[in-house]
Structure 1
Amino acid sequence: MGRVPFPAETPVLTDGVVTLRAPRPEDLPGAIERNTEDPDSTFGADDARRWMSYGIPEAWSAGTRLVFVIEHQGRYAGTVGLAPDANGNAGVHYGLGSWARGAGVASRAVRLALEFGFTVCGFHVIHWWARVGNWPSRRVAWAAGFRLGPTIPALAEDQGRRTDAWTGWIGPGDPRSPRQPWLVNPVLETSRLRLRTWRDDEVDRITTARTNQVTAHFLPFLPQPFTAEDARFWLKDMAEQAAAGLRFNWCVADRGTDVALGNVTLYNVATRIDSELGYWAHPDAQGRGLMAEALRGVADWYFSPAGFGGRRLVIRTAAGNKAARRVAESAGFRLRGLDRAAFALGDKTVDDRAVYDLLPTDDQL
């Protein structure tokens, strides 16, 4: 394949809020500041000066990287670029100064770059990747309409070590807007509890709660003992499920001390009908009615038109799981029936599955 005929000079692209253009001498202080904000960065002031003065124009001239300065509010905000490959595709990369983050600047810049790449350069597909855990980069790709691809082990390098990376792609005919909602947990409060997002420093509370014989019996797919590594993987997986629009996941914490007492997960949320609840409690919380209180708090928000606006909540558990059933019934859920021999147990036997539901019109709410 021959070289795509890129414009000889960097064009100016704008959406009225963000402008993409060639670098200017007055951009240098902002470029140095952005590249020194990361304490782990090895890209110093001299590197930034060379890149802005010579590197970007030379890369553009050679067609190896088409880099734009992002201008916002009349000042340097960061850069966005496209890296062409031999197959007529390109990769996108971007970086933003901290002062410009959180206002949709990066996603606006990426949309402008995508339009340029598809309409002017004729790229077939534009790829994105980011180190797993780089949530700001992933949120920009989500906002710009990228399809999320597989997570590829050891694709990227981070501080001299290979690390897993998220991947994504977008085509010329794809919308430049999110493909699914990014679920953000609302903070819910009851008389004794605060339901919030889990923190990374609460791994010990998770491992203690999920390592016991009852869990091993009724949730045999969970590893036992449930280690700190398992807990960290679970936290990462819950964050990715939220980013994919699949689940809400709350830490149930004491309202006064903020100590984690349990967990409530809400999934099957796409249709807002038959959304399902799962829950578990730390030993400190058991026998105090706290999990039923947490479920009622979630139900109030779920059914509220000002909250989620859902229409039916479901709980499914083993018929023999008396503790889980007691929580469901205390929270006002009604037994809808038993699915015979539908719940696999840890001892390789099968139990019936108890199915509970709750409607917004039920008296218990």
Structure 2
Amino acid sequence: MRPEPFHLQMSDVSRADLRDRLARTRWPDEPAGEAWKSGTSLAYAKELVRYWESDFDWKAQEERINGFRQYRVEIDGIALHYIHEPGRCENPMPLLLSHGWPGSIVEFLDVIPRLTEHFTVVVPSLPGYPLSFRPGQRRFGVAEIADTFAKLMTDVLGYTKFGAQGGDWGAFITSRLGAQRPELLTGIHLNYLAVLRNTSFASPTEEERQWLVQLEGWVKEGSAYATIQGTRPQTLAYGLTDSPAGLASWIVEKFHAWTDHKGVVESAVSRDDMLANISLYWFTGAIGSSFWPYYARSQGPWPIPSTVDVPTAYTAFPKEILRPPRSVAEKTYTNIQRWTDMDRGGHFAALEQPELLADDITAFFKGL
């Protein structure tokens, strides 16, 4: 397992093919009524695709990503991509950052420089996600990803103890590491809680009643994407792998629904950041493989098989898709040492509020 330096460069042919496909998009109509109510706004999608085709500077995004130390290593049958940025202080703590869906390493580009003041930062691309994908490779669920990341940190990079942080699937991966490999973890920091969605309370408190309302709303209005990705991922992959406009519309709806924006999604996450992320999915063809953690979860057991007893911190952003109360969280996370309620930010915390997130991560691990 010898890492090789990695340099991101998409071919002129790939970029020309993307522009051609975008120019030939066949658009659906849209029902009358409130924009975004039934899915991605047609007017917004058209403007986003026009910008992607004509004004978006992919080469600038490549240069931005290539400003970090990147590697690939053959591990568990795949070529795992990761960023490995050394800390700028004496004896920096190793810190593993795990992204989620529909994210990528792009989520952490503004966070990494803030964290390397105190940490040596390792940011893998999840197996099956952009830059850790090639056609025909084995699929990875949360359990397999956590095992691979443990090998990366210990067998490849030589760390015997490290901190870990994540949101979305990254929170599941981080929590799985905390439950299964506690001897490796200094602590874990989460901006999403991987708790069982239990609706059974003997005498629910007001916070627990609000949690039940959240869950009901999520099942009714928010979870359809997870159902299709968790039951028929292959069927969905055909359209999103063939149509960049379809791919962008599928992903940007989540940026609109899950961010703390002020009516326009770009008030929370820049258009260039969204398209850098979407472009990685497009160029690598990884969207179908990225669905697999949903399929693995729907077909198997809950990926956090026991309680998580390592020191834990949670940053609660107000527009997170689900925000369980502490009484619910403590059934899974038995050693919560820091709980921070933020006044702004949403599901894509590293993109929306990189400074707030980095400061909270730093404060927690410095306290340990």
Q: Which has the higher strand share?
A: 1
Q: Which has the higher helix share?
A: 2
The verdict on a shared fold, with TM-score over 0.5 as the criterion, is no
TM-score when normalising by structure 2: 0.28
Specify which structure has the bigger relative contact order, considering alpha-carbon pairs within 8 angstroms and separated by 6 or more residues: 2
Q: Which is greater in Rg?
A: 1
TM-score when normalising by structure 1: 0.28
